[in-house]
C-alpha cells in the first residue's frame, strides 16, 4: 500500500481531468465531423448512429469490467491501459478508410473512455473523501469543457483551413488534436503513485460490496441513470445532425450547452450543499425537459437561449448521480460507481441505434417515394434534391427530440419521489451512511 504522504493528490486530480478531457474531446470532435464522415464514406444516418453508438458500447464494457478489477489490479494499471486504447483509437480514426475502420476506432475510444471513468471516479472519491460530490462535479466539468474545446476546434479549423467547406483531411487534423492531452496524461499517470480505493481502505469486504448492489435504492438509481445519460448525451451527440438546417452554425449549439454545463459544475459546491444531490437532480430534470421543449419550438438565434436552459438542466446529471451513490451508498464501492456510468452509456448506445433507424425512417417518409437517402444527402448544394433533403431534416429533427422529451418528464416524477423518500429517511433518522467512516 502506498503511504499517504507519497500521494500527490493535486497532480493525480489534474491528470484525471486531462484524461477526462480526452474522453470529452472524442465526443465534441466526433459530433463536429460525424456529418463529414458520412459524406466521405457514403454512410446513412442509421450507419452513423451505429458508429456513434459504438463508443457507448465500449464504454459500459470497460467501465463495468474496470470497476470489478480496479480494487485488485489498482487504478494505475487501468489508466495506463486507457492511454493505450486512446492512442490506438485516435490513430485508427485518422487513418480510417470506411465504415468498419470508423467502427473499430470508435469502439477502441469508447473502451478507453470507459476505462478512464472506471479508475478516475473511485480515484477522485478516494482522494477527497470529505467532499465527494463537489469534487466529482469539478472533475466532470472537464467533460463539457472538452466538448467546448472540441467543437470550437472543429468550427475554427473548418473556417481557417477550408473556409467553412471542409474537406475530409481537415477532420483528420481535428481528430489528431486529441493526441496532445493523451500523451500528457499518459506520461503523468505512468509517473505518479496511487492510493488504494476508498472501499479497500475502509476494510469493506468484496462480498459486502456485491451485496450492497442489490439495495433497492441503488437499483432505482441505475434505472434513472439510463434516463439522465440519454437526455444529456444523445441530444449533445446528435446536435450537428438535428440542427444543421435550423442554424448555419449548428455545432455551436453544442458549444453553448457544454459551456453552461462546465460553468455549472465549476460552481456546484453551494448548490449541492444547499439542495443535496437529489434536490439538484429534480431541478435538473425540470430544466432539461423545458430546454428540449424549447429546442423543438424555437428557431434562429433564439435556439441558443434554449441551449442555455438545456445546458443548465443537464449540467449536474452525471456527477450528481455518481455523487449520490458515493455519499449515500458507499458500500457499493468502485463497482457501484462504475455500474452507474456503465448503465448510462449502455442506455445511450441502445437509444442511439434505435433513434438512428427512426430518423432514417422519418427522412424516407418526408422525401419523394423511392428516394435514395445517400443520393439526396450527397446532392449538390442549392439543387432541388439538396433543398428537399434539408426540408426533410428540418421536419425530422423536432420529431426525434419530441420522442426524447418524454424521458426527462418521467425523470421529474422519479426525482420528486427520491426527494420525498430521502426527507422521510432523514426525519426517521435511518439515513444511509454518508461516508466511508460508517462502513465497517
- From CA 84, how far away is CA 11, in angstroms rounded? 20
Residue 354's alpha-carbon distances to 24, 47, 226, 346, 404, in angstroms, are 23, 11, 14, 13, 12
Please report whether residue 1 resides in a domain: no
pLDDT for 297: 85
Query: Whose CA is closest to 254, among 113, 348, 146?
Result: 146
Q: Which residues of 151-189 are buried (b: 16+ CB within 10 A; e: fewer)?
A: bbbbbebbeeeeeeebeeebbeebbebbeebbebbbebb
Residue 231 confidence (pLDDT): 95
Question: 318: Cβ–Cβ under 8 A, 6 or more apart, which residues?
Answer: 140, 143, 228, 229, 232, 344
Of 381, 384, 363, which is closest to residue 373 (Cα–Cα)? 363
The answer to whether residue 166 sits within a structural domain is yes
Q: Domain for residue 426, yes or no?
A: yes
Mean pLDDT for the chain overall: 86
Q: What is the pLDDT along the chain (440 residues), one digit of tens a residue?
A: 454 557 899 999 999 999 999 998 987 787 677 777 887 888 877 788 788 778 777 888 898 899 889 988 999 999 999 999 999 999 999 998 888 989 999 999 999 999 999 999 999 989 998 888 899 999 999 988 988 888 788 878 878 876 655 677 888 888 899 999 999 999 999 999 999 888 888 888 889 999 999 999 999 999 999 999 999 988 876 666 666 555 556 667 777 888 899 999 999 989 998 999 999 999 999 999 999 999 888 877 788 888 889 999 999 999 999 999 999 998 898 899 999 988 998 898 889 888 888 888 888 888 888 787 778 877 887 788 888 887 887 778 788 889 999 999 999 999 999 999 999 988 875 444 454 444 43
Tell me whether residue 357 is in a domain. Answer: yes
Structural domain includes residue 267: yes
If you count them, how many residues does the chain have? 440
pLDDT of residue 436: 45
Nearest of 238, 291, 242, 237 to residue 264 by alpha carbon: 291
pLDDT at 170: 81
The DSSP result for 55-79, as a single string, is HHHHHHHHHHHHHHHHHHH-HHHHH
- Per-residue pLDDT, 438: 46
CA gap 294, 287 in Å, rounded: 10
Grid cell locating 379: 446532392
Q: What pLDDT score does 421 carry?
A: 95
Cβ atoms of 349 and 56 closer than 8 Å: yes
What CATH number should be reported for the domain holding residue 159?
Answer: 1.20.1250.20
Is 136 a domain residue? yes
Q: Which three cell numbers stand for residue 61?
A: 464494457
The Cα–Cα gap between 177 and 270 comes to 35
Burial class (CB in 10 A: 0-12, 13-18, 19+), 325: buried
- Report yes or no: 305 and 256 within 8 Å, Cβ to Cβ: no
Assess contact for 436 and 208: CB atoms under 8 A.
no
CA proximity to 94, closest of 172, 183, 174:
172
User: Within a domain: residue 2?
Assistant: no
Which cell is 28 given? 465534441
Closest CA to 51 of 29, 34, 26, 33: 34
Closest CA to 115 of 58, 46, 164, 153: 58
Domain range for residue 162? 10-438
369 phi and psi angles, rounded to 5 deg? -55, 135
Q: What is the pLDDT of residue 244?
A: 58
Say if 3 falls within a structural domain. Answer: no
Number of domains in the chain: 1
Amino acid at each position: 500500500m502506498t503511504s499517504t504522504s507519497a500521494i500527490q493528490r493535486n497532480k493525480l486530480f489534474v491528470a484525471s481531468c486531462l484524461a477526462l478531457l480526452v474522453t470529452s474531446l472524442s465526443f465534441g470532435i466526433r459530433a463536429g465531423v460525424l456529418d463529414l464522415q458520412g459524406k466521405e464514406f457514403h454512410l446513412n444516418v442509421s450507419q452513423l448512429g451505429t458508429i456513434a453508438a459504438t463508443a457507448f458500447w465500449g464504454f459500459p464494457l470497460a467501465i463495468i469490467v474496470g470497476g470489478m478489477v480496479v480494487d485488485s489490479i489498482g487504478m494505475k494499471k487501468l489508466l495506463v491501459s486507457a492511454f493505450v486504447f486512446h492512442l490506438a483509437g485516435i490513430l485508427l480514426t485518422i487513418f480510417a478508410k470506411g465504415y468498419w475502420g470508423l467502427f473499430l476506432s470508435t469502439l477502441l475510444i469508447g473502451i478507453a473512455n470507459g476505462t478512464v471513468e472506471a479508475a478516475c471516479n473511485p480515484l477522485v472519491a478516494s482522494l477527497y473523501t470529505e467532499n465527494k460530490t463537489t469534487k466529482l462535479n469539478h472533475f466532470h466539468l472537464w467533460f463539457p469543457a472538452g466538448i467546448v474545446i472540441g467543437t470550437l476546434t472543429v468550427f475554427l479549423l473548418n473556417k481557417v483551413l477550408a473556409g467553412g467547406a471542409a474537406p475530409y483531411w481537415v477532420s483528420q487534423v481535428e481528430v489528431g488534436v486529441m493526441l496532445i492531452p493523451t500523451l500528457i496524461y499518459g506520461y503523468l499517470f505512468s509517473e505518479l503513485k496511487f492510493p488504494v480505493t476508498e472501499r479497500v481502505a475502509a476494510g469493506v469486504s468484496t462480498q459486502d460490496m456485491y451485496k450492497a448492489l442489490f439495495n433497492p435504492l441503488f437499483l432505482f438509481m441505475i434505472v434513472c441513470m439510463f434516463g439522465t445519460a440519454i437526455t444529456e448525451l444523445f441530444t449533445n451527440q446528435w446536435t450537428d445532425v438535428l440542427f444543421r438546417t435550423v442554424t448555419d452554425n449548428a455545432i455551436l449549439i453544442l458549444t453553448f450547452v457544454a459551456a453552461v454545463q462546465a460553468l455549472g459544475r465549476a460552481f456546484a459546491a453551494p448548490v449541492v450543499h444547499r439542495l443535496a444531490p437529489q434536490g439538484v437532480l429534480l431541478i435538473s430534470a425540470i430544466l432539461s425537459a423545458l430546454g428540449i421543449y424549447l429546442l423543438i419550438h424555437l428557431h434562429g438565434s433564439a435556439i441558443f437561449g434554449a441551449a442555455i436552459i438545456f445546458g443548465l438542466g443537464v449540467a449536474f446529471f452525471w456527477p450528481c448521480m455518481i455523487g449520490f451513490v458515493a455519499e449515500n451508498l458507499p458500500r457499493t464501492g468502485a463497482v457501484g460507481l462504475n455500474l452507474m456510468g456503465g448503465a448510462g452509456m449502455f442506455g445511450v448506445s441502445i437509444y442511439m441505434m434505435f433513434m438512428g433507424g427512426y430518423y432514417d425512417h422519418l427522412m424516407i417518409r418526408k422525401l419523394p417515394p423511392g428516394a435514395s437517402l445517400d443520393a439526396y444527402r450527397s446532392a449538390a448544394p442549392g439543387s432541388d434534391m439538396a433543398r428537399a433533403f434539408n426540408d426533410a431534416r428540418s421536419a425530422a429533427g423536432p420529431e426525434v427530440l419530441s420522442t426524447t422529451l418524454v424521458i426527462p418528464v418521467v425523470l421529474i416524477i422519479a426525482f420528486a419521489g427520491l426527494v420525498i423518500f430521502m426527507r422521510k429517511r432523514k426525519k426517521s433518522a435511518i439515513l444511509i451512511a454518508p461516508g466511508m467512516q460508517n462502513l465497517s
